[in-house]
Amino acid sequence: MISSVSAALALASVSAVLAAPVNTNVSPLVSRAAAPSPAFVIYTDKFVSADVLPPATQLAGYNVVALSFLTLKGALDQAGAYAALAPSARATKKAEYAQAGISIIVSAFGETDKPTTSGADPVGTANTMAQFVTANALDGIDVDYEDLDAMNKGDGAAEKWVTTFTQTLRQTLPQGQFILTHAPLAPWLSPNAQFAAGAYLTINKNVGALIDWYNIQFYNQGLYTDCEGLLNAAGAPFAGSSLFEIAANGVELNKLVIGKPGSAADATNGFIDPATLGTCVDQAKAKGWSAGVMAFQFPEADAAWIKAAKGTSFQ
């Protein structure tokens, strides 16, 4: 969730890293969650408490929380901590959040994982991660693929990997029963010679129908710092990557969730204070957009943050 397209940034984790094995005692597949629309998504990677997630009241205004991250090495940070809870504690927390109208999903990969470059098998990886979702009675999965080296090669390997991975996830996590989202960097949804094989524009053509929405990372690129750049004209070096430009590139407008850091400390750049962001949201809503807002991460982005970021359009 912290990658710059032009240079991968290494940031030390500020949260405890907890590895958790996948529970092989998988419960029967049942219908769990229809995709909310609009979606108001909050990521949680930093340690919160022994209960892992905060009281649902602290996340009022959100309808999806993404446990971060389920990696190639296993479940780490908040994803690992949640999986390590006693089954009864997980069930209690899940029921609390369901009562509050908040779905709990897991976010896969993140900035440090390089699935294509490392040679991970997309089918096996998808099956393992889908099993994690069902074993922990989660509502779905978010795909935060950030293998910049693979995407920048432009040989189509990254696009093929993500396509196969997504198709395989849907075999176990059917649409309408489980949420499946992706969290691409905004420039990957624009035509650019740096991504010769099309990046997420190609992925969207291949499997966009299987993806409920995109949690777009409108940050870390030195762009998207005001409403004009965020919504209408991103400018160089990634022209065509603002919200309405992405829609003009052929991606369904109401799958484009605006993603922003919860504070300046949660990204290298691209932070907009939530009150100002709310004015951008109002402008976008007036032009026909209604996909929702994503924040990285709690606790910087809390109930007050999302209330302000919704502007007057979603109160």
pLDDT in tens, 57-99: 999 999 999 999 999 999 999 999 999 999 999 999 999 999 9
Q: Are 293 and 258 in contact (CB under 8 A)?
A: yes
Residue that is written with structure tokens 């897991």 in the block: 106
Q: Are 103 and 33 in contact (CB under 8 A)?
A: yes
pLDDT in tens, 181-234: 999 999 999 999 999 999 999 999 999 999 999 999 999 999 999 999 999 999
Return d(Cα 225, Cα 237) in angstroms, integer. Answer: 14
pLDDT in tens, 27-66: 444 445 679 999 999 999 999 999 999 999 999 999 999 9
pLDDT in tens, 162-183: 999 999 999 999 999 999 999 9
Closest CA to 203 of 156, 168, 155: 156
| CA-to-CA separations, 185 to 2, 92, 110, 127, 269, in angstroms, rounded | 9, 34, 11, 24, 13
What is the model's pLDDT at position 64?
Answer: 98
pLDDT in tens, 259-307: 999 999 999 999 999 999 999 999 999 999 999 999 999 999 999 999 9
Beta carbons within 10 angstroms of residue 267's beta carbon: 24
Return d(Cα 245, Cα 307) in angstroms, integer. Answer: 26
Return d(Cα 108, Cα 146) in angstroms, integer. Answer: 10
Considering the chain, what is the average pLDDT of its residues?
91
Closest CA to 292 of 240, 223, 243, 227: 243
Q: Is 194 helix (H, G, I), strand (E, B) or coil?
A: coil
Task: Look at residue 4 and tell me whether its pLDDT is greater than 90.
Answer: no
